[in-house]
Chain A
């Protein structure tokens, strides 16, 4: 999987969703993000019209708001959020 830590694919839970992850690379913070995305799938937010940017923002902010993260991880997520808002994270 190279530089990919984890990836969800598929249209919806009704149509089927797949998940791949790199066990050598994926971190707890990455899994927390994927759990958030899974909840989004289950709650049908993709189908409800939420943009990919909105879904990424929700997942990353949820982690920052709910967990006592190390400063490096907090900075990493803050940078991701900056890139999402600048339109550079989700093409």
Chain B
């Protein structure tokens, strides 16, 4: 999530204009969310609109499924880049760091992907989990914490959305 530095007033109500990347474009319910890292609570007032990205970043923006979001006033104090889950989510979300990554992404494309969280599906053995990967910070977020335990072996990641007409596939490992 990335937001404006100041709140705006919409029909007398203070809101925080923002851009969010979502795991699934079909399911972004309005309501209350809680931050994974700093545990701050925010409310999603509505989502959608129009986003005009720099031409060279349009493929990366659609891969990250970035969209406009109107957040409550409280979101103004949240750090840009924080990751949120629904407040009453039953998922056991985990954030992990990985050490090694195997991919066939071109160097010039890597530069474009470095600033985003890429939504996708992780899988290893017979376990799968939706989640995000950040190539820059070498972090992954798993919706299903069970998969975190398998990070000592190789976990496959497949992007949920296309990047220049392709599905990204890469492999991450927690230990050397």
Contacts and interface: CB of A to CB of B under 8 A. Distances in A.
A76 B69 CA distance: 26
A46 B65 CA distance: 19
A1 B68 CA distance: 12
B10 A33 contact: no
A16 B70 CA distance: 10
Contacts of B46: 9-11, 15
Interface of A: 1-11, 15-18, 20, 25-26, 30, 33-34, 37, 46, 52, 55-56, 59, 76, 80, 83, 86-91
Contact of B49 (A8, A59, A88): A8
B90 interface: no
A15 B9 CA distance: 11
B122 interface: no
Interface string B43-57: 000101111111111
Contacts of A88: 59, 62, 161-162, 165
Residue among A15, A18, A59 with the highest chain B CB neighbour number at 10 A: A18
A30 B52 contact: yes
A16 to B, nearest CB: 3
B25 interface: yes
Interface residues of B, number: 36
Interface in B129-165: 161-162, 165
B54 A37 contact: no
Interface stretch (B11-19, B34-42, B96-104, B168-176): B11-19
Residue among A1, A10, A33 with the highest chain B CB neighbour number at 10 A: A10
B52 A5 contact: yes
A11 to B, nearest CB: 5
B52 A33 contact: yes
B50 A5 contact: no
B82 interface: no
B165 A3 contact: no
